[in-house]
Amino acid sequence: MLEITTIKDHFDQAVSGLIKRGIANAESLLSELMDLDKKRRETQSNLDSVLAEANTKSKMIGRLIQGGEKEQAQQLKEETSVLKNQAKGLQDKLTALVDKQQESLYNIPNIPNGNVPEGCSAKENEVVEEWGELPSLDDGAMPHWDLIQKYDIIDFDLGNKVTGAGFPFYKGRGAKLVRALANFCLDQAEAAGYQEIQPPVMVNETSGLATGQLPDKEGQMYAISDSNYYLIPTAEVPITNIYRDTILEVSDLPVKNVGFTPCFRREAGSWGADVRGLNRLHQFDKVELVQVNHPEYSYKALDEMCKHVSLLLQQLRLPYRMVNLCGGDLGFTSAQTFDFEVYAAGQDKWLEVSSVSNFETYQTNRLKLRCRGEDKKNFLLHTLNGSALAIPRILAAILENFQYQEGIRIPEVLVPYTGFDAITH
């Protein structure tokens, strides 16, 4: 969530930022919040001074009782009782105000960075980089959902039987290809200085709140009904939460972690042609990069992460475009996001295979992830993350783009990982 002091100190900037996201009433929304904050501070001041008086009197009572002056003590007790009652009222008021302010802040998205394009839908996203030539396929080329049947490498029917829709089985060379992609991505990340992490795939409610999946997108996470845990929608959640309630030293920065996990998404209400086959699943594997960085260097890091993703896609020989998301299309918690879309020739579609974001202090504020400054003042750090990469969609693009009459060619960089250079009957 946003810091209240940031909104106060950069009010106009905050308003115009939210307007860029398409929030028309941003000004009144933030003004209300400022009024609420003013009331909150007043109430806190009042409460503090009542408590201070009560504390003083309580201490006097202690001394009087020790000195044997019971009657005076009794008198003070009554006075203190009155103060305590006042304090209780003020405390309730303060709690209500804080809750309201918190709720309000939870519902305000991050302020877009200055380089985020104007626009209210995906149509206004800005393509900033394009790479590779779109393959032209022979007659009889297929989308991946047909290819996987033809070569018997991924089985959706089996998934339906054993679990339900959106939980495919990868078999034989299909399974091997998943493992090859994961290992390739992990090795590349390691070479770029990321530490590999294997986190739990279930998290508690506090963690979900801290990275912003809760309460906003509760419908996206699977909840474990009898233990208050949630299945992670991305490794970002457990890995970023490592640093919850933490104060780092400047010398610890940048923190660079990479995790390979299954991701679970309810994706409630998503149906239609866009979601066929591997395009959208309830469970899928993803390699995720997570960085914690100094505010001064976070955009440099964002750039570096985008370059990393570009390089992965280039090595895999997948034509892609890199898109600077416009204000209206930006994720709730993000200050700036670049999406990477890969062209899948068999279905003639661009598939989003990576999303690289800088959250600035939006997450660290909830996480209470700070850094000890040289002046001993603590400040909030920046978090960033990016997929590198989402495996099933990459798989889909590979199958479709590299298909030929008798089989599917495996990208050269993967061959050492798969042990085969083509999938044929």
Partner RNA sequence: AGAGGGUUGGCGGAGUGGUCGAACGCGGCGGUCUUGAAAACCGUUGUACCGCGAGGUACCGGGGGUUCGAAUCCCUCACCCUCUGCCA
Residues near RNA (CB under 7 A): 4, 41, 44-45, 47-49, 51-52, 54-59, 61-62, 65, 77, 80-81, 84, 247, 370, 372, 376, 378
Return d(Cα 248, Cα 81) in angstroms, integer: 44
Q: Please report how close the Cβ of residue 294 comes to RNA at its closest, in angstroms.
A: 16
Q: Which is nearer to RNA, 97 or 388 (CB)?
A: 97
Closest CB to RNA among residues 64, 326: 64
Comparing CB distances to RNA, the nearer of 205 and 352 is 205
Sign of the dihedral defined by the CA atoms of residues 199, 201, 202, 204, in that order = positive
CA angle 99, 101, 103 (to 5 degrees): 65
Rounded CA separation 149/113 (Å): 45
Minimum distance, C-beta of residue 93 to RNA, in the bound complex (Å): 14
Measured CA to CA, the distance from residue 303 to residue 27 in angstroms comes to 32
Residue 300: which residues within 8 A CB-CB, separation 6 or more?
none
Distance between CA atoms of 149 and 172, rounded to whole angstroms? 13
Q: Is 213 helix (H, G, I), strand (E, B) or coil?
A: coil
Nearer Cβ to RNA (34/134): 34
Least distance from RNA to the Cβ atom of residue 144, Å: 34
Task: Tell me 87's DSSP state.
Answer: H
Note whether 30 and 6 are within 8 A (CB): no
What's the angle, vertex CA 224, arms to CA 219 and CA 225, rounded to 5?
Answer: 95
Q: Would you say 4 or 398 has its CB closer to RNA? A: 4
Residue nearer to RNA on the CB measure, 370 or 382: 370
Query: Which residue has 């309730």 as its token pair?
Result: 92
Is the CB of 23 or the CB of 51 nearer to RNA? 51
User: 133 by DSSP, 3-state: which?
Assistant: coil
- Give the shortest CB-26-to-RNA separation in angstroms: 22
Residues 8/37, Cβ–Cβ less than 8 Å = yes
Residue among 55 and 72 whose Cβ is closer to RNA: 55
- Half-sphere exposure (Cβ direction) of 398: Cα atoms closer than 13 Å: 28
Query: Rounded to whole angstroms, how far apart are CA atoms 186 and 36?
Result: 47
Question: Rounded to the nearest whole angstrom, what is the least distance from the CB of residue 66 to RNA in the complex?
Answer: 7
In the numeric block, the tokens 């801290």 are attached to 210
Looking at 212-254, list the stretches that DSSP marks H as alpha helix, in order from N- to C-terminal side: 236-241
Give the nearest distance from C-beta 13 to RNA in angstroms: 20
